[in-house]
Amino acid sequence: MKITDLKVLRANRSVFCRIYTDEGIVGLGESGAWGFLEASAAALETMKEYLLGKDPLEIEHHWQYLYRFSHFRGAAVMGALSAIDIALWDIAGKYFHVPVYKLLGGKCRDKVRVYNHTAGRTEEELVENAVKGVEEGYTALGHLNPYLDEPRTKAYEDGNAAMLYKAERRIAKIREAVGEEVDLCLELHRRLEPGLAVQLSARLEPYNPMFLEDPIRPDNFDAMGQVAGRCRIPIATGERIHTVHEFEMLLERGACSYVRASLGVCGGFTGAKKIAAVAEAHHASLVPHNPLSPVMTSAVLNFAAATDNIAICEYPNPYAASTADHLTVSGVKLRQCDMVDHIPEFKDGYLEVPEGEGIGIDLVEGLEEKFPFRPHKILTRLNADGSICDQ
């Protein structure tokens, strides 16, 4: 079996690739480069030349070749490699007539626990949506932002004291509203400096969050390690790093309890397997990062089914136009579920494991025409004084 073609598809807020073979088997993958999807699509076109004529089942070799050939990499390049890797595993599953999870070692679990994206532009809306999530059947609420999902065009005006008090008040209200049985996964969007992050963690301890995600900018592993060492709430981080080597350095510093590796930028199944092994050696669990389409959700579910040290998975709303549209309430009427042939069943806080061949999902015909590509615009929030506000 040989690879005959690679085609890039740009649709909605996503970039996919299809890899074709001379035996008629087609693999599907998705890039997770998020804000730089156009660059990732270009990287896919570059990598195509290498793949033509190759055996698609030599996945590890192709991964190493594309990972190491250019000496330079980043999110756009790793997003392309991730899409290719997922597509190659999809081909392998279809070739052997099994779900990808069987090729990764078989099931470690029969269903996958997930958390939703609980958004809120106001305190009242945040609490209301938290209650709604529980009513929908979620046993964990995620992407809970104690600083709200306000428009990026609105200047952020709170000082340190207000940041602490408001965050504590909002999480206290959510805990009271949803009870003691629901896990709260807090997304801090890199908003704080290390000292303030430690202060906030101490104030939030009574409400028992499952984790604090990216309380500070995650670029400095030493700084994240210092925060984690002084906080009694577990830290989650990792969505912005790409390689097993970076994750090893992160874990060696004790910088997190939950690893937020993204299959869309860490090298697909092949990269995520390596990261999971390193995490296991450090007694750390994975919470796969996934703000992407149902294609990536299906890939994540296969990975989670076959990986023991998965704590919980992020589940982007398939009935919204995209995660960005959901969190900002953009009003766009598209639905991601209409981009694919099906979505997994959700019940009592869990998603079913895909049982179809490969990753177990496909795109609808005419995708690019039905869902015109919408690139992310460069827009970040500012503080009241005009400086950058992470959100």
Residue 313 structure tokens:
């998975």
- pLDDT reported for residue 179: 98
245 is known as an active-site residue: no
Catalytic residue (one of 117, 143, 242, 289): 289
pTM above 0.75, yes or no: yes
Number of other CB atoms surrounding residue 310 within 10 Å = 22
Catalytic residue (one of 62, 117, 143, 189): 189
Q: How far is CA 345 from the centre of its chain?
A: 19
Q: Would you say 334 and 294 are in contact if contact means Cβ atoms under 8 Å apart?
A: no
CA distance 50 to 136: 46
CA distance 220 to 7: 37
Question: Tens digit of pLDDT per residue, the chain (391 long)?
Answer: 999 999 999 999 999 999 999 999 999 999 999 889 999 999 999 999 999 999 999 999 999 999 999 888 899 999 999 999 999 999 999 999 999 999 999 999 999 999 999 999 999 999 999 999 999 999 999 999 999 999 999 999 999 999 999 999 999 999 999 999 999 999 999 999 999 999 999 999 999 999 999 999 999 999 999 999 999 999 999 999 999 999 999 999 999 999 999 999 999 999 999 999 999 999 999 999 999 999 999 999 999 999 999 999 999 999 999 998 888 888 888 999 999 999 999 999 999 999 999 999 999 999 999 999 999 889 999 999 999 999 8
Q: Residue 360 — left, alpha, or beta (φ > 0 → left; ψ -120 to 50 → alpha)?
A: left
Q: How far is CA 384 from the centre of its chain?
A: 30
Q: Would you say 209 and 180 are in contact if contact means Cβ atoms under 8 Å apart?
A: no
| Angle between helices 244-252 and 268-281 in degrees, nearest 10 | 20
Q: Name every residue whose Cβ is closer than 8 Å to that of residue 72 and which is 6 or more positions away in sequence.
A: none
* CATH for 102-358 (2.30.42.10, 3.40.50.740, 1.20.120.50, 3.20.20.120): 3.20.20.120
CA distance 17 to 7: 6
- pLDDT reported for residue 115: 98
Q: Name every residue whose Cβ is closer than 8 Å to that of residue 115 and which is 6 or more positions away in sequence.
A: 138, 140, 141, 142, 143, 183, 185, 312, 313, 314, 315
Q: Where are the domains of the chain?
A: 3-99, 102-358
Query: Alpha helix locations (H) across 180-267?
Result: 194-204, 221-230, 244-252
Could you please report the per-residue DSSP string of 207-232? G--SEEE-SS-TT-HHHHHHHHHH-S
* CATH for 3-99 (3.30.420.40, 3.30.390.10, 3.40.718.10, 3.40.50.720): 3.30.390.10
CA distance 247 to 279: 8
289 is known as an active-site residue: yes
